[in-house]
Amino acid sequence: MSDHNTPVGERLPPDRKHLRVAVANPLHEESYRRIMEREPRVTLLVDPSLLPPIRHRADFSGDPAFRRTPEQQRKFEALLDSADVLLGIPDVDPTALARTVRSNPRLRWVHTTSAGGGQQVGKAGLSPSHLRRVTFTTSAGVHGSPLSEFVVLGVLSGAKDVPRLMRLKSRRQWSERWMSRQISRQKVLILGFGGIGRAVARSLSALGMSVTATSRRAGAEHPDVDRFVSIDEVHDVVGDMDAIVCALPGTGLTERFVDERLLARVKRGVTFVNVGRGSVVDESALVAALEEGRVGFAALDVFEVEPLPATSPLWALPNVLISPHTAALAADEEAAVAELFADNATRLLDGHALVNVVDTVEFY
């Protein structure tokens, strides 16, 4: 066990002067230093030998081939059960999270290293009393910049007909000239206006697009959004849009929101980009819309089933860009997660509200 995280072995005093944090997902040593420099009242409990080896930056799940011995598993669970806080969901496994919450009555905060950690909390099947005792937060927002860049790639690819250009290139064919679409004259609808949606709006607005976004809050305003609509109004406005960007979380309310009925109302040739959750889209309906040309181009980072099966018709469609759920990855992602966690730790210790708190009704 690293000497910078020697456990104090006692419960926190009532005045919350320190936090004992068990590191449940693998991080680089520099992330541990970053957290302690930003919030020295944190004591990190971490034994690297109990965590899967890191394969690359922001590899919060680690090597899937890693297995603990029974003795290592007992040590790992004992470490988790001695903490006030978990940094990460153990083994990125809802079952392991449920075990820890039930076994550790002192636990009061779990920070997930992913933006969509609320889904994992929901799958843990925790009781109402556990959900009241423990606060869950996510890393939402740290992925906004790279995901918005992927969205820009998708919107530009659709407007400039990149599949056509690639097809002509493969044939070595110099075709007649044609008019491409100018995105500064286009309208985009952003489904979901959390951290990712806001970053997308900022990028697309800067390119001159007219931005419409969904909001649950009546009278919502934002400098990068021309107008807000409710989810119930989406079917009424979608036909005016040149591009649709999905940044919705995966919940019971959003499951297959983009379905055959919605896609039947889109403007022919619309560009569709999904950086939210695969469960939000009925893939069969999307495939049909792509084959018919109702959706002219799709850039997809998430899917109903991951990895995307080799039998999926999406692989064979020339007007589809497939990213293996990797568009959010960036060199500085882990540092951003560490800083967000440290800032939230300061908030907790100083008695302020945490940011990115999971909704324990819809789990996002």
Domain ranges of the chain: 3-142+331-349, 144-322
- The predicted pLDDT at position 241 comes to 98
Low-confidence ranges of the chain (pLDDT < 70): 1-16
Indicate if 144-322 has the same CATH topology as 3-142+331-349: yes
Find the largest Cα–Cα distance for the chain.
76
- Per the CB < 8 A criterion, the answer to whether 160 and 180 are in contact is yes
Is 277 part of the annotated catalytic residue set? yes
Cα–Cα distance for residue pair 104/31, rounded to 1 Å:
25
Which is catalytic among the residues 18, 41, 108, 325? 325
Exposed (0-12), middle (13-18) or buried (19+): which is 364, by Cβ within 10 Å? buried
Contact 275, 246 (CB under 8 A): yes
pLDDT at 16: 57
What pLDDT was estimated at residue 41?
Answer: 97
Q: Which residue in this structure is represented by tokens 């007992």?
A: 74
Q: What pLDDT does residue 247 have?
A: 96
Angle at 154 between CA 334 and CA 218, to 5 degrees: 80
Q: Would you call 315 helix, strand, or coil by DSSP?
A: helix
Supply the pLDDT for residue 260. 98
The answer to whether the CB of 197 falls within 8 A of the CB of 253 is no
Among residues 20, 34, 143, 277, the one annotated as catalytic is 277
For the 144-322 domain, the top CATH level (class) is alpha beta
Write out the two tokens for 336: 């951003």
Contact 258, 231 (CB under 8 A): no
What is the CATH code for 3-142+331-349? 3.40.50.720
Q: How many CB atoms lie within 10 A of CB 107?
A: 23
Query: Could you tell me if 243 and 266 are in contact, meaning their C-beta atoms sit under 8 angstroms apart?
Result: no
Our CA angle for 187, 189, 193, nearest 5°, is 135
Q: How far apart are CA 177 and CA 5, in angstroms?
A: 65
